[in-house]
């Protein structure tokens, strides 16, 4: 089918050339940057998709020109239906309950000027594509500036089905961004900004779908984040007892959950200098933990446990902002389940951390038993981590120093969201404190036994 359409397009273009009705035909290369805008909305037993794409992204199609690069409107309109089906109708994949929908019906197609703003809303875009005035044949527009607007209709069984999409437009340019807005039957809007080929994207995920996806995302993120792994390693090095580490790592998780959620709800400073500041502080946290291990090498576990969970909690607040930067683009896949997705992400992070502990504890135990003694091994590993982190800190501080940062600017940015942030912080601190007290409290039987023997 695709080859047949290409052949018809080639024949049509050749006919225009032979007819001499135009001043030329434009051949073009793949454009560098292409932005595809689309609305998707289920209505009854059909799914409507409005698409706007630059005309220059319709590859292999030589649109007729007149004069110095102006598009021949009448001649180009003859090629639009096949172009729309070739590069959009056949490439975009829409799914209903996991089953791919058949090829759509091309309900409308038209050219638009770059100044047209109809795609700001679904209603305006639909009215423009279906009933709006067409461009007059005498319109003078450079062909690379023209826009192609298309309405595709897919047959479905129910508007309440679970719909998903694979944009399939990544070949239209060297760098392609798809801005897709899904209108739910209830009228809510889900917005996506997808780059290249994102695979199949669920347009309105159920809560369990969002939860599972973010658990996986959190698990993968902690394993891919080298700075977070090194911080975790510094927490683990002085200990080789799994259960003794659980409250420390959990304190770290509770803390970064607070700042991650705060950032997702726009309680964090929204300034250019904030991300490099956080990244610098993350590197500093690793350096601190590494040097603390070196200085305290050989001290008792009990002393460290009482203090280390507090340090892990404090630095966890900083790491939470770092997680939020990585999660920013992913949150668009949460649908209406933002809090569920954030909590699920943290569950995934915690599972990943526990896996790292489960691997590191026996590995360190074997190293210190058969390789080097505990004190020397702790110093060597911590020194290597500190060396790496010092380089990171220097590089990140160099980036931070490019911004005119003052204490007044920091105070002003923090005050914008300080009150709700402090409330969350105090709640998290209280939860962590009482949880730790409960964790450290000896069983009632042991207390009674001590009293009897005393």
Which pLDDT belongs to residue 427?
66
| Mean pLDDT of the residues in the chain | 83
Could you tell me if 186 and 330 lie in one domain?
Answer: no
Domain that holds residue 45: 2-204
| pLDDT on residue 292 | 87
pLDDT tens by residue, 190-229: 999 999 999 999 999 999 999 999 999 999 988 888 888 9
CA 252 to chain centre: 23
Q: Do residues 26 and 125 both lie within one domain?
A: yes
The whole-number pLDDT of residue 15 equals 46
Q: Up-side HSE of residue 245: CA atoms within 13 Å toward CB? A: 21
First to last CA, the chain: 91
Q: What pLDDT does 3 receive?
A: 52
pLDDT band at 81 (very low <50, low <70, confident <90, very high): very high
Asked if 365 and 416 sit in the same domain, the reply is yes
Q: Are residues 305 and 165 in the same domain?
A: no
Given the DSSP bridges, would you call strands 99-100 and 93-96 parallel, antiparallel or unpaired? Answer: antiparallel
Domain count, the chain: 2
Indicate whether 72 and 171 sit together in one domain.
Answer: yes
- Give the ranges where 26-66 is alpha helix by DSSP (H): none
Domain boundary among 178, 204, 230: 204
Q: How confident is the model at residue 18 (pLDDT cuts 50, 70, 90)?
A: very low
Q: Are residues 251 and 379 in the same domain?
A: yes
Q: Which of 186, 204, 222 is the last residue of a domain?
A: 204
Q: Are 335 and 295 in the same domain?
A: yes
Which of 204, 233, 252 is where one domain is finished? 204
Task: Tell the burial category of 385 from Cβ atoms under 10 Å away from its Cβ (0-12, 13-18, 19+).
Answer: buried
The whole-angstrom separation of Cα 130 and Cα 137 is 18
pLDDT in tens, 410-425: 666 666 655 555 566 6
Q: 152 and 26 share a domain?
A: yes
Give the model confidence (pLDDT) of 298-343 as tens digits. 555 445 545 777 888 889 989 998 888 878 888 888 988 999 999 9
Specify whether 198 is located in the same domain as 243: no
∠ at Cα 390 (387, 396), nearest 5°?
145
At residue 307, the pLDDT reads 72
Judge if 184 and 217 occupy the same domain.
no
* Residue 262: band (very low, low, confident or very high) from pLDDT cuts 50, 70, 90: confident
- 213 and 200, same structural domain? no
User: What's the pLDDT band for 389 if we cut at 50, 70, 90?
Assistant: very high
pLDDT reported for residue 118: 94
Distance CA 288, CA 234 (A): 9
More confident residue, 349 or 422: 349
The pLDDT, as a whole number, for residue 86 is 93
Q: Point out the least confidently predicted range of 35-44, 87-96, 293-302.
A: 293-302
Report DSSP state, residue 332.
G
Q: So what's the pLDDT on residue 304?
A: 53
What is the DSSP pairing of strand 175-183 with strand 33-43? parallel
What are the DSSP calls for 245-300, one per residue?
A: HHHHHHHHHHHHHHHHHHHHTT-S--STTHHHHHHHHHHHHHHHHHHHHHHTTT--
Is there a single domain that holds both residue 124 and residue 220? no
């Amino acid at each position: 089918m695709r080859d047949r359409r290409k052949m018809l397009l080639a024949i049509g273009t050749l006919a225009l050339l032979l007819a001499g009705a135009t001043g030329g035909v434009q051949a073009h290369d793949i454009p560098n940057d292409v932005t595809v805008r689309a609305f998707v909305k289920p209505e009854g037993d059909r799914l409507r998709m409005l698409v706007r794409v630059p005309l220059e992204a319709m590859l292999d199609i030589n649109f007729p020109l007149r004069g110095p690069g102006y598009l021949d409107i009448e001649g180009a309109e003859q090629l639009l239906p096949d172009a729309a089906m070739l590069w959009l109708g056949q490439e975009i994949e829409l799914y209903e309950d996991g089953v791919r929908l058949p090829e759509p019906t091309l309900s409308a197609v038209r050219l638009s000027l770059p100044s047209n703003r109809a795609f700001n809303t679904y209603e305006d875009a639909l009215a423009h594509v279906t009933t709006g005035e067409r461009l007059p044949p005498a319109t003078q527009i450079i062909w690379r500036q023209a826009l192609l607007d298309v309405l595709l209709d897919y047959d479905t069984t129910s508007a309440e089905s679970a719909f998903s999409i694979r944009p399939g437009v990544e070949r239209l340019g060297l760098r392609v961004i798809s801005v897709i807005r899904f209108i739910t039957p209830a009228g809510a809007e889900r917005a996506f900004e997808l780059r290249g080929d994102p695979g199949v994207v669920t347009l309105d995920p159920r809560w369990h779908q969002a939860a599972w996806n973010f658990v996986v995302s959190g698990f993968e993120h902690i394993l891919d984040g080298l700075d977070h792994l090194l911080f975790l390693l510094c927490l683990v090095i002085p200990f080789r007892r799994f259960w003794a580490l659980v409250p420390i790592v959990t304190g770290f998780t509770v803390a970064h959950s607070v700042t991650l959620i705060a950032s997702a709800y726009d309680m964090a400073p929204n300034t250019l200098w904030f991300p490099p500041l956080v990244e610098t502080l993350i590197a500093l946290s690793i350096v601190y933990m590494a040097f603390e291990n070196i200085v305290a090498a050989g001290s008792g576990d009990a002393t460290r446990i009482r203090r280390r969970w507090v340090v892990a909690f404090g630095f966890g607040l900083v790491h939470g902002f770092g997680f939020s930067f990585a999660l920013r683009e992913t949150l668009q896949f949460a649908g209406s389940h933002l809090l569920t997705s954030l909590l699920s992400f943290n569950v995934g992070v915690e599972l990943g951390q526990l896996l790292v502990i489960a691997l590191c504890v026996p590995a360190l135990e074997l190293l210190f038993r058969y390789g080097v003694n505990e004190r020397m091994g702790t110093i060597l590993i911590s020194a290597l981590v500190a060396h790496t982190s010092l380089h990171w800190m220097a590089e990140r501080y160099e980036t931070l120093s490019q911004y005119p940062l003052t204490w007044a600017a920091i105070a002003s940015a923090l005050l914008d969201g300080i009150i709700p942030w402090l409330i969350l912080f105090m709640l998290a601190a209280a939860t962590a404190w009482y949880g730790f007290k409960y964790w450290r409290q000896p069983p009632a039987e042991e207390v009674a036994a001590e009293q009897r023997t005393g």
